[in-house]
Structure 1
Amino acid sequence: MDEGELMMDLRQLEFFLALAEELHFGRAADRLHVVQPSVSQQIQRLERSLGVKLFDRTSRQVRLTVAGARLVPEARGIMSAIDRAAAAVRDDGRHVLRLGTADVLGERLDVLLELFARRVSDARMSLVQATPRERLERVRDGALDAALIRSAAPSPGVRLRPMWEDGLVAVLPAGHRLAAEPRLSLRELRDMPLRLVPRDANATFVDKVLTSCRAAGFDPRLDHPFTNLQDTLVEIGFSADSWTVLHRTTARIVSTRRVAVRPLDDDGLRITTSLVTAEQPRPAARILLDACAEELTGRPPVG
């Protein structure tokens, strides 16, 4: 292919990365705040431009091709470079906090942002939702100043500051006999198939749940993977006996009456949320870390 024929714009790369990470056209569209046909059109244009197929699509699943998998790190590098260039020309990086966030942090996120704003008079916030692994990579390569990550494990190139702990709760069909109990133990759930995210999406969380189940005396029988909150809860609500585990803060927004949310008695099922920064924190991250240190000295963790 002649170099003049190779036309990629940043919008196409943004759509490509969203689909590569979600592997679902509907979820990618939701993340990009566009309709699903727009995602399909941009991917098709990019594939025509490159002359290669980036995704294998069937009625049941979307998978990266070999060429698509090769493009992922290159596309991330391009988008990170653009972010760094934009930050460099805007200011010294102190006024804009680029923060990777997890789902349903509620008032705890508000507290952190307020701590930053108190120290920076004209503070601006750029919040990014992505998978835990993607948040970690973006902190490491400079695309984000910091990220909030649940169950973060030590990793080269980043620092972890534990911020708070959350308990986990069980979600099961509202019509199941165990839904009548005010609290549950893991052992009571041993005969029900469990739905978890794929391990490569959040290995620390999955390992903690599986280890806790084994400590309770059983190896859980895994059901279809947890896809997204809405779809998984609907499917559990219409199932006979499947269940899943959610962070307590996430469970607060569960609205469907077809599922029951029950606290778990197992003490080991607590998840730490950490503030992740580069080993040498960038200016905005340094300000946030200093603000947190001052706020938390001699006090319980935020939230």
Structure 2
Amino acid sequence: MDVDLRKLRYFVAVADELHFGRAAERLHIAQPVLSRQIRALEDELGAELFARDRRGTLLTPAGEQLLEDAPSLLSASQALLRRVRSAAEGTARFTIGFMPGITLTSAVLALTARHPKLDVRLLRTSWHDQVEVLRDGRADVSIVRLPVDQRDLHVRPLFEEPRVVMLPAGHRLAGKASVAIADLAHEHLLQDPDAVPEWRDVALEMREKNRPKVPVIHQVEEKLELVAAGSGVSVLPLSTAGFYTRPDVIPVPIEDIGPNRVCLAWVATRRSPLIDDFAEAAAQTIGAVPLGHVGLTGRS
């Protein structure tokens, strides 16, 4: 029995929403159609995926297992389609995902020197999609900032760099030569706490419990606008801070926080000479920004 990918997408939508009406709206289909498709999937799998009662819709153990496995299968199918369509165009293409603050020019030039006819494309990523672009085929390789979900990926270290806290110019700590992570425990962090586990671990329990909801932030520029407006602070790698300098946001070194680790990642099952050649070029040319290249002008 083959799993119908369309039904699998329908299942993921319902599992995410835990509500058939909202899932149907998200999928742009009628709710009765969605219900029939889910029942058909349950019949095909021989397992009940959702428990429905007066309290709402809940995943069964079988549903929880399917939700754990389905996203990777759907991403793999998208990656397959993208690679096949690219091959059908007859042009060799190589897409590199990269996080803000990382310079790829030397590595790209080294790759194109070996493969002059290669169509190299760059894809800027964010904290939330830096490995998803690999799993769904949007990128062949990705320069990622740890931590990331490394399942089914090959991850090769490139370099480490310090992290700084971005503060509004009038902030009480903005003139310091450096700060400790404990100094930031009461601050509103404008990013996922899992991206800065050191802050998460020292932030006061009450502060974390009543922490204002962080808006969805897609770009560094958005984050720095919020910092400048006094809405919170953000912890960034040194190179990213150097790329986005502005007079109303001050970078201050954090003295007791680990470095940001930058790595090259690709799907572990991919076998490609282009990946091997780029990995070699990246290891030789992609590195950290020297401290002196970023204007850290704090005072003690």
TM-score (norm 1): 0.61
Residues 116 and 288 of structure 1 are in contact (CA less than 8 Å); yes or no, is this contact kept in structure 2?
Answer: yes
The aligned residue for residue 99 of structure 1 is 96
The aligned residue for residue 288 of structure 1 is 278
Q: Which of 3, 20, 30 is the matching residue for 1:51?
A: 30
The aligned residue for residue 244 of structure 1 is 234
How far does the alpha carbon of each residue in 1:68-101 deviate from its partner, in whole angstroms, 9 at most, with x for none?
xx9987875664343111232245x8x4222122
User: Share of identical aligned residues, percent?
Assistant: 18
What SS class does the counterpart of residue 108 from structure 2 fall into? helix
Compare CA radii of gyration and give the structure with the larger one. 2
What SS class does the counterpart of residue 160 from structure 1 fall into? strand
Residues 148 and 276 of structure 1 are in contact (CA less than 8 Å); yes or no, is this contact kept in structure 2?
Answer: yes
How far does the alpha carbon of each residue in 1:124-183 deviate from its partner, in whole angstroms, 9 at most, with x for none?
212223445534244245443211110044633211111111211111221123212232
Q: Which of 250, 261, 264 is the matching residue for 1:260?
A: 250
Residues 140 and 278 of structure 1 are in contact (CA less than 8 Å); yes or no, is this contact kept in structure 2?
Answer: yes
Provide the C-alpha distance between the structure 1 equivalents of 2:233 and 2:85, rounded to a whole number of angstroms.
45
Unaligned runs of 5+ in 1: 1-7, 9-19, 21-44, 55-65
Q: Which of 266, 273, 295 is the matching residue for 2:262?
A: 273
How far does the alpha carbon of each residue in 1:189-226 deviate from its partner, in whole angstroms, 9 at most, with x for none?
34x32314235xxx4x2325434x47xxx669454426
1:12-51 alignment, distance < 5 Å: 48=28, 50-51=29-30
Structure 1 residue 118, shift from structure 2 partner:
2.1
The aligned residue for residue 41 of structure 1 is none
Q: How many residues align?
A: 234
Provide the C-alpha distance between the structure 2 equivalents of 1:72 and 1:84, rounded to a whole number of angstroms.
18
Q: Which of 91, 109, 115 is the matching residue for 1:114?
A: 109
Q: 1:98 to 1:156 in 2, by over 3 A?
A: same
The aligned residue for residue 187 of structure 1 is 182
Q: 1:87 to 1:73 in 2, by over 3 A?
A: same
Residues 97 and 124 of structure 1 are in contact (CA less than 8 Å); yes or no, is this contact kept in structure 2?
Answer: yes
TM-score (norm 2): 0.61
